[in-house]
Structure 1
Amino acid sequence: MQLLITGGTGSIGSRLVESLAADHHEIIVLSRNPAAHKFPEGVSGVAWDGKTPDGWGHLVDGIDVVINLAGENLAGNGTIPSRWTDARKKSIRESRINAGQALVDAISAADVKPKLLFQISGIDYYPPGDDLVTETSPPGDTFLANVVANDWEPSTAAVEGMGVRRIVGRLGPVLSMGGGPLPISVLQFKFFVGGHLGNGRQWLSWIHIDDAVNAIKHMCSSTHVEGVYNIVAPNPVRNEKFSQVLGSVMGRPKWIPAPAFALKLALGEISTLVLEGRQVSAQLLLDTQFKFKFAELKPALENLLE
């Protein structure tokens, strides 16, 4: 296949690009600074501004698949999450809208349009709580839910009217030592200060990085897949259980919980990323015949920490 990928230099995108390149696909990665990245053989880095199709839009003509992973990192680029200032909230929202619109404009101008556009999204679409949610559940009313439901997912919806098949993948927290919630948790347990967050009852609908990458590849290569899919492991856990399993795998005790008030004081609104959770169903993804490498948390953590 010939693929064009935005967000291909992030923690998930880079792993996806590596995996696709290993399968000998032809890949174009749109990047704000392609010269700063070393791409695998068969991968071309092309500059874009994240806002317009200027300088690269013609590359969409005749491409097989477009994968849109672009968007400012919700937690920032450091190990410790960055506060959501008004400016950061604006950037989180606009980076997703602008990237989607640029792709729509490029596809609209293409004589031979892509067969498929894969749009990444997030399970923050759903309201926090204990109820099991599926792809047909209504959206929540948080900042992120509003961004996902009203801006991010709709940003590329117009391609459906151009005859392009579209998949929306609502991704859960990805377990990887390259980013996401795991590195800081590992650091805490390493220094014997690991524990659950808040009351520990919030759900974590996690997924191993390998399964996240393989799920995207699986959906993009399956001609019968279309619409919205949750990309999460089939066995979510509560935060307290996650801490217990992580401590066990690392040979460290779980004994110092982080109080909710302290996290809210230190992090502000972004603390909702770890203090609120959703129990998200993976059944629709399973129905596509996708096979998980890591359906259970313990072997997933053992693999990542070996």
Structure 2
Amino acid sequence: MKIVIAGGTGFIGHKLMENLLANGHTIVILTRKPRPEAGDVSYIRWLSEDAVPEKEIRHADAFINLAGVSINEGRWNANHQKQIYESRMTATDELLRIIAAMPIKPSVFINASAIGIYPASIDAVYTEESANKAKDFLAKTVSDWEIKAQKVNEFSVRTVIMRFGVVLGNEGGALPLMVLPYKLFAGGTVGSGKQWVSWVHVKDVVQAILFAMEHDRMSGPVNVTAPEPIRMEQFGQIIGTVLHRPHWLPVPSFIMRMVLGKKSALVLEGQHVIPEKLMNEGFEFMFPFLFHALEDLLVKK
């Protein structure tokens, strides 16, 4: 298959590209800084003056949109929030324009999103059928992003919205920061410890994207989380067990708010999310349980 990726050089995009190449696919990376073609990967300029990527793409079987300023980097001040929001809207608008200009449309459009669309709750359990939406910055961002991405339905292109949970990997995401205190023998419960962490191994994220791309019955929102969410206190205890480090030094909520500001909501609040669509379609998680996921990521082999 010929697959166009926006955001292909990021944390998830890089892992996805490695997997696609290993499985014989041809990849087009949309980038502001194109480079020479490398094997089955070509780089096409976009989001810059006079760029007309559709003329170079010509045709594609699938589009995957992972583009946007990372929510894990930087402090959520007004300027950074604006960048997070506008980068997603701008990139998706351009992808819609590109697809509209292509005489032969792709068969599927896969767009990233996040489980932050669901309200934080200690008691609620969310599936793709859950109608409740949060009203904070992250929820508004991903909700608007999903609405915009679904406009590709106007071109009769199957659209899948991948609502990622807390993606665990060594090269990015939240895990390196979560693990650091334990490596310094200062790990402990963050906040109340009762908040849910709906996590997922980055390898399962990649496999879920491929699964959605290849299975025609997958459309609309899809929760990309492991089937066994866990509370923050137990999450920390398992990090300590895997690393053979103590879990003893609590980090109060007010400290996290002082250090991270509004972004502290990512660790102080959480949602209990179930990947119902993936499970109903027979998707097999490589890492359904946190201990094995962290063992794979943190233990040297």
TM-score, normalization by structure 2: 0.95
Match of 1:68 in 2: 65
Letter paired with 2:142: V
Correspondences of 1:101-112 after superposition (within 5 Å): 101-112=93-104
Match of 1:182 in 2: 175
Between the aligned partners of 2:282 and 2:28, the Cα distance in structure 1 is 28
**Count of aligned pairs between the two proteins:** 297
1:120 to 98, 104, 112: 112
Distance 1:52 1:121 in 2: 27
Gaps of 5+ in 2: none
Distance 1:211 1:39, change over 3 A: farther
Measure how far apart 1:54 and its partner are. Answer: 2.7
Distance, in Å, in 2 between the alignment partners of 1:53 and 1:154 is 27
Classify 1:211/1:160 alpha carbon distance in 2 versus 1 (closer, same or farther; 3 Å): same
**Pairwise mapping of residues 115-264 of structure 1 onto structure 2 (< 5 A)?**
115-130=107-122, 131-137=124-130, 138-149=132-143, 151-264=144-257
2:283 to 260, 270, 290: 290
Match of 1:91 in 2: 83
- Report deviation, 1:52: 8.0
Q: Which runs of 5+ in 1 are unaligned?
A: 77-81
Match of 2:43 among 32, 42, 45: 45
CA separation of 1:53/1:28 partners in 2, compared to 1, >3 Å: closer, same or farther? farther
- Cα 1:59–1:108, aligned 2, differ >3 Å: closer, same or farther? same
1:101 alignment partner AA: D
State the shift of 1:147 in Å.
Answer: 1.0
Q: CA RMSD in A?
A: 1.5
**By how many angstroms is 1:34 displaced?**
3.6
Residue 293 (structure 2) pairs with residue 300 (structure 1): yes
CA distance, structure 2, for counterparts of residue 53 and residue 63 of structure 1:
21
Q: Is the 8 A contact 2:118 2:134 kept in 1?
A: yes
| Contact 1:53/1:103 (<8 A) preserved | no
Instruction: Answer yes or no: is the 8 Å Cα contact 1:60–1:106 preserved in 2.
Output: no
Encode CA deviations 1:135-166: one digit per residue, 9 max, x unaligned: 122211111111111x2112222210111110
Choose the corresponding residue for 2:259, options 258, 266, 274: 266
Instruction: Report Cα offsets for 1:65-104 as digits up to 9, x if no partner.
Output: 000000110021xxxxx21111111111100101110010
Q: Distance in 1 between matches of 2:39 and 2:195?
A: 42
Whole-Å Cα distance in 2 between the matches of residues 55 and 120 of structure 1?
23
Judge which range, 208-217 or 39-48, deviates more.
39-48
User: Is contact 1:52–1:102 with CA below 8 Å preserved after alignment?
Assistant: no
Runs of 4+ in 1 over 6 A off after TM superposition: none
Distance in 1 (CA, whole Å) between partners of 2:134 and 2:11 is 26
The Cα shift of 1:179 comes to: 0.9
Partner secondary structure for residue 97 of structure 2: helix
Q: Does 1:54 align with 2:51?
A: yes
User: What fraction of aligned residue pairs are identical, expressed as a percent?
Assistant: 39
Counterpart for residue 18 of structure 2: 18
